[in-house]
Chains A and B, each alone.
Chain A
Amino acid sequence: MASNPRLFNPRLDWIVFLTSVGLSLTLLFFGRNPAVASLKLQAVEVITKASKPLVLAHRTLYLWQENMRLRDLSMALSDENAKLRDAALENERLRAMLEFRARFPLPLRSADVVAVPGPQIGGKLVIDLGRADGVSVNSAVLTPHGLVGKVTELSEHASLVQSLVGNAYGVSVMIERSRVSGILKWIEPGHWAIVGLATGEDVRVGDLVLTTGSGSVFPKGIRVGVVTEVRAQDDLKSGFCRVTPFVDFSTVEEVFVMAPAGTLPELPLTSEKPRGVR
């Protein structure tokens, strides 16, 4: 241990120590000297410049961490928001269905759309009710907004519904205000028309279109849509008046199924203004 510097000249360490302490105490008691104050300011200046990159690095790190945290939070909130929005929309739909069911005079069975097979323009929907639930071919399918279509095929617990999309069949309809009737046909994606109307018939834009009940498929008085365009000439191919259905067929999730018209009483005609026009 003789080579250990700390044991070399044992008095030197005390000298250094006492000198340091003495100097420190001198500074402590007489440190208000202007020269010392000036030195202090310069030191602060130097250390400020030297520590700037450190502070910047720390802030960058902090910003990065905060950014990551906010990103996670944003994702979580976005997810929660989507769920809440979905729940609100579902709540609105279900509430409308409940209200509809309460004021609809015919027996209805609610069903969920469980699949949309084929292309959108095919207009097919699969619902979770079948023969075992009392559903039969040609059972009308509707939502609180209006007519969706009819059941075309069914199994024990599921049914294939053909909506008004796809021109698979015509629906006998009438103008609510003037009682003028015709056949509703799908003429192109997004467009329907009432054909078979004579020139000069009393049809106006905004007229409500209802089912007539003839044909023993759809009960009388089911809301279908609203007239959106009336043409002057009688052109059976292109349609005399265009109709926009109340139902958006691409977003149907819950529906009601009812028995074919022949087995049901007539619906009372309504003068209620349509709602939910697309």
Chain B
Amino acid sequence: MSLPVALLFAAIVLLLDSGIGQFLSIGPARPSLNLLFVVYAGLTRGPIEGTLFGFGIGFSQDLLGGLPMGASAFTYSVVGFACGKLWSEGSIRMIWPWGVFVLFAAVFAEAIASFLTAQTSGLSFSSLFTSAGLTSAAYTTVFGMLWFLSPLHRVRNI
């Protein structure tokens, strides 16, 4: 995937996440399409572009979302960088490494989001994280694995 195509994909994912993401929610859980893209970008393009994509998408999400400015940018920068650093040939070729990467990234992102939400709302971090954070992380992981198994992912790999 060339850089312009990757940027186009990033824009589309951002648009999809903000446009129809809420329709995918089940109870308090909602999959993060943005996070999936950042993990994918980190794994396929390395730590530099992973970080830059993470920061860009996170910043865009912060401009739109309920989290304080910079929170998502920070989270996704770390995720993109970590995925780029931990990359190996098999990580994006097989489903289980991909699933594990997504799960860890999602748990990390949800922990940050729960922490910041708990700070601003006065609610308990643990209850927020267990009730919404972990379920959202699991949902994002399942969603990511479904995408991995879908023809969309296979076609792009061809």
A residues engaging B (CB < 8 A)? 4-6, 12-13, 16-17, 20-21, 23-29, 31-32, 36, 39-40, 43-44, 47, 50-51, 54-55, 58, 62
- Name B116's closest neighbour in chain A (CB-CB): A28
A55 to B59, CA, bound (A): 22
Q: Which of B31-85 contact A (CB under 8 A)?
A: 45-49, 51-52, 54-55, 58-60, 62-64, 68-71, 73-74, 77-78, 81, 84-85
Contact across chains for A5 and B18 when beta carbons are under 8 A apart: no
Asked whether A27 and B48 contact (CB < 8 A) given A13-B81, A55-B20, the answer is: no
Contact across chains for A21 and B74 when beta carbons are under 8 A apart: yes
* Number of A-B pairs, beta carbon distance below 8 Å: 102
A-B pairs, top 8 by smallest CB distance, nearest first, are: A6-B46, A27-B70, A31-B69, A51-B19, A24-B74, A28-B70, A43-B63, A54-B19
Contact across chains for A43 and B60 when beta carbons are under 8 A apart: yes
26 intermolecular pairs with C-beta atoms under 8 Å apart: A4-B46, A6-B84, A13-B46, A13-B84, A17-B51, A17-B78, A20-B54, A20-B74, A20-B77, A21-B74, A21-B77, A21-B78, A24-B58, A24-B70, A25-B74, A26-B70, A40-B64, A43-B60, A43-B64, A47-B14, A47-B19, A47-B64, A51-B15, A51-B18, A54-B20, A55-B20
Complex interface: chain B residues within 8 A of A47 (CB) = 14-15, 18-19, 63-64
Interface class of chain B by DSSP: helix
The answer to the question of B108 belonging to the interface, with a C-beta cut-off of 8 Å to chain A, is no
Give the contacting residue for A44; candidates B54, B63, B84; CB below 8 A.
B63
Complex interface: chain B residues within 8 A of A5 (CB) = 45-46, 48-49
Count of B residues near A, CB < 8 Å? 34
B residues engaging A (CB < 8 A)? 14-16, 18-20, 23, 45-49, 51-52, 54-55, 58-60, 62-64, 68-71, 73-74, 77-78, 81, 84-85, 87
Complex interface: chain A residues within 8 A of B59 (CB) = 24, 27
A162 to B117, CA, bound (A): 86
- Name A43's closest neighbour in chain B (CB-CB): B63
A68 to B31, CA, bound (A): 27
Contact across chains for B64 and A25 when beta carbons are under 8 A apart: no
Complex interface: chain A residues within 8 A of B18 (CB) = 47, 51
